[in-house]
Structure 1
């Protein structure tokens, strides 16, 4: 069971015209980074997602509808972004399995070389 979610890195109001209702200063840019969590580990990836929503007409503006001006503003905000570095954190269940396997492998090696007799 893998749960992937996004956490917000930056949220900013941009002063471009909305492609739907043409209002000025009602677009909100949200930049998010992907987080994957399973039973064994938690990982932050390098995947970044940008979303723009108009607060006036309550419509999400998809990238296909972005104008060149909006794309330039989004790229500007992405350049100044402090994204979290890629990371991997093992959970206690993973550490337990790794420790168990190391003990088993060590026991097999010691028994097969004759250091420990059964």
Structure 2
């Protein structure tokens, strides 16, 4: 099972970085979990958020956030709309389902004919 996070929304923040105090390097990213197996692809409802400073190349963790960053984060979080949870079956799954249905139909027909 292959799990990865796909980026849904990115926003540049004009707040001061808590590490380097630069005002134009912060990047807020919202990601959603994507699962892929040999039978299906699925987008889950699980989301993650992160803030990264492109100037000093540092992840800004929530304990380092200032009140201004928290306010801007809350604003963007309210505006964030994740993709709907969905599952799509792959061709292999459809072939398994089809063959299972054919076997069941064959058993039913054989039972009716050879009574």
TM-score > 0.5 by shorter chain: yes
Equivalent position of 1:12 in the other structure = 11
In the alignment, structure 1 segments of 5+ residues that lack a partner are: none
Listed one character per residue, the Cα deviations across residues 39-61 of structure 1 (whole Å, up to 9, x for unaligned) are: 00000111111111111111111
In the alignment, what sits opposite 1:36? 35
Aligned residues: 115
2:85 matched residue in structure 1: 86
1 CA distance for matches of 2:36 and 2:63?
A: 30
| Runs of 4+ more than 6 Å apart | none
Corresponding position of 1:116: 113
CA distance in 2, matches of 1:6, 1:31: 9
The aligned residue for residue 68 of structure 1 is 67
TM-score by length of 1: 0.86
What is the aligned-residue RMSD (CA, Å)?
Answer: 1.7
**Per-residue deviation at 1:111?**
2.6
Offset of 1:65 from its aligned partner?
Answer: 2.4
The 3-state SS of whatever aligns with 2:22 is coil
CA distance in 1, matches of 2:98, 2:88: 16
- 1:22 deviation in Å? 2.0
Unpaired runs of 5+ in structure 2?
none
Normalising to structure 2: TM-score of the pair?
0.88
